[in-house]
Amino acid sequence: MKNHRGNCLRVDLSHHRIVRDVTPERGMGGRTWNSVTLLRELKSGIDPLGPENILCVATGPLTGSKLIATCRFIASAKSPLTGYLGDSGARGFFGPEMRWSGHDQIIFTGASDRWVYLWIDNGHVEIRDASHLIGLDITATTVQLRDELHDPDLQVAAIGPAGENLVKYAIISCNLARAAGRTGMGAVMGSKKLKAIVVRGDKPVKPADPQRFDEACARFQSVIEGHNEFQARRRYGTTRIMNSLAKIGVLPAYHYQSAIFKDLEKVDADALRRNHVVKSKSCYNCNVFCSRYNYTAASEGEGPEYEAQAGFTVKCGNSDLELGVGVSNAVNRLGLDCISTAEVIGWLMECRQEGLISNAEIDGIDLSWGSREALLRIPEMIARREGIGNLLAEGTRHAARHFGPGAVKLTAEVKGLELFSADPRGIKGYALMNAVNSRGGDHYRGEPMIELTGDEDLALRRVGYREAAHRLEDKGKGALVNYAEHLGLLSDSMTICKNISCCMDAMDFEIAAEAYSSLLGEEVASDELWEECSYAGQAERDFNLREGLSPEEDTLPARFIDHPIPDGPSAGTTINIRGLVKDYYREKGWKQID
Amino acid sequence: MIECDVRICTGCRMCEVVCSSHHFGAVSPALTRIKVAKLEEIGLDLAVVCSSCAQKPCLECPSEALAVGDRGQILLEAELCNACRTCVEACPIGAIGFYDDLPLFCDLCGGEIACVIACPTQALSFREDYREDSLEAFLTNEGSAGQRRAQYCRARGEALRRSWQSGARVDS
């Protein structure tokens, strides 16, 4: 396909120099532009938190257009948490504003010797002093910048104390609670002494063929509105996942020790809505508005999404939802990834239960299940690297080594990236996705959600196997994960919300090709988009192999392989991860592991 | 007049997208006649658009380019406009845009109103029997148009925030 070349800014933070360039000639936007850039320009073996690392921030050709939910930006760099390719996307409104400023990709190289922020006002770009913002959390940073620049409509992507202190799972956040959360992109930003990117833009996004583009937009909208979960997603957003996972027995209660949480009804989607949700919230131009604003006696904020909701309740054995919501708000302000943070705390609690960690070793903090003290204090200590927080800021893989082999056995991470709030043993497609994808322990490269639908016709249409529609089936999962990865790459390139494109299966390559072609005025076929995703996916794999990735790392944590799910609706379920990985390698045409 | 219900506006800005698409065939915050004020730190969102207010300070146009239409909308005689921005600065709620040397007023789409139709939560509605909204309390609003929209949003959301404090939740 003839690739669209967008505008690129190269910002050399070592010398405070800015140069204009164009985006790579491969890739469709967003993540694929970034991955291609990093494969070409980053030297292998460099320190992810050193000045040699490159931080790419990109939107795509469709960002900020009329197409629903084209809201994201993608941040990519070598990950300080995994040592492999890191990238993460955030929803909200920053991506569209960056696009309207006339910039499609920003490439940060080097590191500043003092704290700065990047100011973009359409064509005017400037590196400015940020010393007055240091120590401020994400909310305070954003509010301060909007105040002092006299423009409450500015979009800000910032790091909090966690990013400043190089916590390896620090986030880049926009709109106070929309995070590029995974793989520590906030730490890379902090290592460059870049506190924020502030953008104002008003350049129109105008389709080349308005009528055809409108038709593609309308078609996409009707697929979303016709989806059988449309109303439920409007009402609950991702929080309804808790009840769905409980029903099939894959909740990670007490850090994966049980699939049953006794106080489910105190922390589930309805409890949240009844007690703490005051209104619905939305990202850019979305008809699902699946987010929500919470209000409690102690704090308020947007969220939580399922991962924070379940991570700070079920996973940590906490039945006090108000406490969990408060931790979600705090973690957003501090600039920590909620998934990794919840995993750190849950894992610590299990270590304490097993007698592997004494209270003294963790600064006297009470680590019993659901401990209020642990949930409130540990995120603060991690973000500020205080006491034991300094070790925990390195992630569970590193911290576990400090506490010995027993503690290592209890971790739930792949390639250094902590797992989500679900038990992979009972959802084979997700298990495989966690084992093989480029980020490490991650379900969100693409969502193999078809295995949760039971829709055999859909499975056959998308991946060629009816069996792939069933979560406990191994057959067809290699093809399913490959398809889900492609759709994830497409979504991360179009910068479209993956809850809609992947989780609702609302986007496909035909609609995407229509939207691309009519917006850009260049004919792109759906199979060309598929091929471009294959190319970018292989580029990401090559990046990781160059960094020393061994195929043996394409697996799950030992705790899931050696033991069946102990109780609940999926009791007794084990996982043949080697067989699944083999199937996936076959699908990819990769050499099998001996 | 178009009204926005602060209780159910989610801040998605679809109204801006369809407004600029309808009038210009393109999307940009500079092209929209309705603008969403978002006070993220206190959870308030409000689409701000001309409310056909009783005061109409925008009509103090030095070149007399403005008049009031039969549905309460402001009519611009483009040839008379000298791009002085007096009207833009006069609007206490920052509801007047400015693009390509012309002020942008909500023209109610000359019929079916795109933003009202598109709003996913029906937070936007049109009252044909428009009452003349008083913006007396906001005439002292200060700062940039965006800041005036924010002040308006804050004031319009005060009662909502009080209700949250006394325990009201989304379904109550």
Nearest CA in chain B to A296: B165
- Min Cα–Cα distance to chain B from A459, Å: 31
What pLDDT digit, counting tens, does each position of A266-297 carry?
999 999 999 999 999 999 999 999 999 999 99
What pLDDT digit, counting tens, does each position of A541-558 carry?
999 999 999 999 999 999
How deeply is B99 buried, as exposed, middle or buried, from its count of CB atoms within 10 A (0-12, 13-18, 19+)? Answer: middle
What pLDDT band is residue A12 in, cutting at 50, 70 and 90?
Answer: very high
- Residues of B near A (Cβ–Cβ under 8 Å) read 7-8, 10-14, 17-18, 20-21, 24-31, 35, 37-43, 45, 120-121, 143-144, 146-147, 149-150, 164-165, 168-171
Domain contains B166: no
Instruction: State which residues form the domain around B30.
Output: 2-154
How deeply is A553 buried, as exposed, middle or buried, from its count of CB atoms within 10 A (0-12, 13-18, 19+)? Answer: middle
- Best of A153, A154, A322 to disrupt the B interface by mutation (most B CBs within 10 Å)? A153
Nearest CA in chain A to B30: A202
Q: How many domains does chain B have?
A: 1
Task: Produce one character per residue of A44-73: b if its CB has 16 or more CB atoms within 10 Å, e if not.
Answer: eeeebbebebbbbbbbbbbbbbbbbbbbbb
Domain contains B7: yes
- Distance of alpha carbon A515 from alpha carbon A495, whole angstroms: 13
Nearest CA in chain A to B115: A285
A257: pLDDT strictly greater than 70: yes
Nearest CA in chain A to B169: A278
Average pLDDT for B116-129: 94
List the single residue in A175, A278, A281 with the smallest CB-CB distance to B164: A278
B147: pLDDT strictly greater than 70: yes
Domain contains B167: no
Residues of B in contact with A93 (CB under 8 A): 13, 38
Residues of A in contact with B38 (CB under 8 A): 93, 152-153, 175
Domain contains B164: no
What pLDDT digit, counting tens, does each position of A56-95 carry?
999 999 999 999 999 999 999 999 999 999 999 999 999 9
ipTM score of complex: 0.97
What pLDDT digit, counting tens, does each position of A424-477 carry?
999 999 999 999 999 999 999 989 999 999 999 999 999 999 999 999 999 999
Domain contains B93: yes
- Min Cα–Cα distance to chain B from A444, Å: 23
- Distance of alpha carbon A435 from alpha carbon A443, whole angstroms: 9
- Distance of alpha carbon A459 from alpha carbon A448, whole angstroms: 10
CB contacts < 8 A, A to B, total: 126
- Min Cα–Cα distance to chain B from A441, Å: 31
pLDDT at position A358: 86
Domain contains B58: yes
Residues in chain B, overall count: 172
CB contact under 8 A, B43 and A289: no
CB contact under 8 A, B28 and A143: no
| Range with lowest mean pLDDT among A91-105, A266-280, A358-372 | A358-372
pLDDT cut 70: percent of chain A above it: 100
List the single residue in A64, A65, A279 with the smallest CB-CB distance to B170: A279
Nearest CA in chain B to A71: B12
pLDDT at position A263: 98
pLDDT at position B46: 98
Going by C-alpha positions, the residue among A540, A551, A558 that lies closest to residue A79 is A540
CB contact under 8 A, B146 and A152: yes
- Min Cα–Cα distance to chain B from A351, Å: 37
- Min Cα–Cα distance to chain B from A293, Å: 6
pLDDT at position B1: 87
What domains appear along chain A, each with residue ranges and CATH number?
7-200 (3.60.9.10), 230-418 (1.10.569.10), 427-505+525-588 (1.10.599.10)
- Min Cα–Cα distance to chain B from A65, Å: 6
- Min Cα–Cα distance to chain A from B129, Å: 29
Average pLDDT for B28-53: 97
List the single residue in A152, A278, A285 with the smallest CB-CB distance to B12: A285
Nearest CA in chain B to A211: B25
pLDDT at position B35: 98
What mean pLDDT value characterizes chain A?
A: 97
A398: pLDDT strictly greater than 90: yes
What pLDDT band is residue B130 in, cutting at 50, 70 and 90?
Answer: low
DSSP calls for A553-587: GSS--HHHHHS---SSTTTT----HHHHHHHHHHH
B132: pLDDT strictly greater than 80: no
- Distance of alpha carbon A38 from alpha carbon A48, whole angstroms: 12
Q: Which two tokens stand for residue B67?
A: 């008049």
Domain contains B59: yes
pLDDT cut 90: percent of chain A above it: 98
CB contact under 8 A, B21 and A295: no
Phi-psi region of A412 (alpha: psi -120 to 50; beta: other; left: phi over 0): beta
Domain contains B170: no
CB contact under 8 A, B120 and A66: no
- Min Cα–Cα distance to chain B from A143, Å: 8
pLDDT at position B33: 97
What pLDDT band is residue A1 in, cutting at 50, 70 and 90?
Answer: confident
Alpha-helical (H) ranges within A354-410 are 372-384, 389-392, 396-403, 405-409
